[in-house]
Amino acid sequence: MSDTINWDDLANQAAAQTDTEFNTTIASLTRMSISEIDEFIKQSEITNANAIKVLKEINDAAASNTSKADAIANIDNGVSFLVSLATRIV
């Protein structure tokens, strides 16, 4: 992902977007299809805003892996979302 992504703006937009709009936005940032994104969001039962929070934590180059893990664990359904995302990669 690009360093030029404004995660705060993306999080604010996510709260106002429909699921379809949100999935399209995430698909444009990844190599995943809209249907794949829709499926793993449903599996993890995460909100759009919380999904962006998880992605923001993953992208935080300044944070250690431990602090990223702690932050994601504190996001409602964050770990479930991360596991669903990881299963698409491996």
HEC-encoded secondary structure of 20-85: HHHHHHHHHHCCCCHHHHHHHHHHHCCCHHHHHHHHHHHHCCCCCHHHHHHHHHCCCCHHHHHHHH
14 pLDDT above the threshold of 70: yes
Query: What's the pTM value of the predicted model, to 2 decimals?
Result: 0.67
Domain ranges in the chain? 7-89
Q: What is the pLDDT of residue 71?
A: 94
Residue 40 pLDDT grade (very low, low, confident, very high; cuts 50, 70, 90): confident
**Across residues 36-41, what is the average pLDDT?**
80
**Across residues 15-19, what is the average pLDDT?**
74
Q: What is the dihedral of CA 16, 19, 22, 26, to 10 degrees?
A: 160
